Amino acid sequence: MAVNLDGVFLGTKHAMAAMRDSDPVNGSIINISSIMGLVGFPDIAAYNASKGGVRLYSKSVALSCAERKLNIRVNSVHPGFIDTPLLRQGMARIADPELARKTYDALQPVGHLGQPIDIAYGVLYLASDESRFMTGAELVIDGGCTAR
């Protein structure tokens, strides 16, 4: 909770303060959650709760900024299974890492894990003026995993 939820709270709090002090007041806060903040998963209840907290916290702050007429947008990004060193480390601990990789790939409707750049492009969109009408939204980047 300290990293996943308290860290997002503190980062958002301090980013908002800096944005409120800018002239003109504007900004885009993008909080990283997970698809595990949208759906439950066995044996990781605390992780699910922390990522679900990021989701709802982002929505609440977005509404607060809108009601106070601050031009600060707040959205959350929900990555699915992404090919990162952390995921590869986890697969390496499985008896057959190659089978683990094939299993993870098969879980994705698109047939493969996402890449970090896939998440970066979504964040770039939310940071840009092209998303100026988005606040309190959830950007799910998961290869269709939560569509099942």
Give the residue numbers marked as catalytic: 47
Contact criterion met (CB below 8 Å) for 34 and 79 = yes
Give the burial string for 65-76 (b: 16+ CB within 10 Å, else e).
beeeebebbbbb
Torsion angles phi and psi, residue 115, rounded to 5? -110, 155
Task: Please give the Cα distance from 92 to 24 (Å, whole number).
Answer: 49
Provide the H-helix boundaries in the chain. Answer: 7-20, 45-67, 85-92, 97-107, 116-127
Task: Please give the Cα distance from 121 to 119 (Å, whole number).
Answer: 5
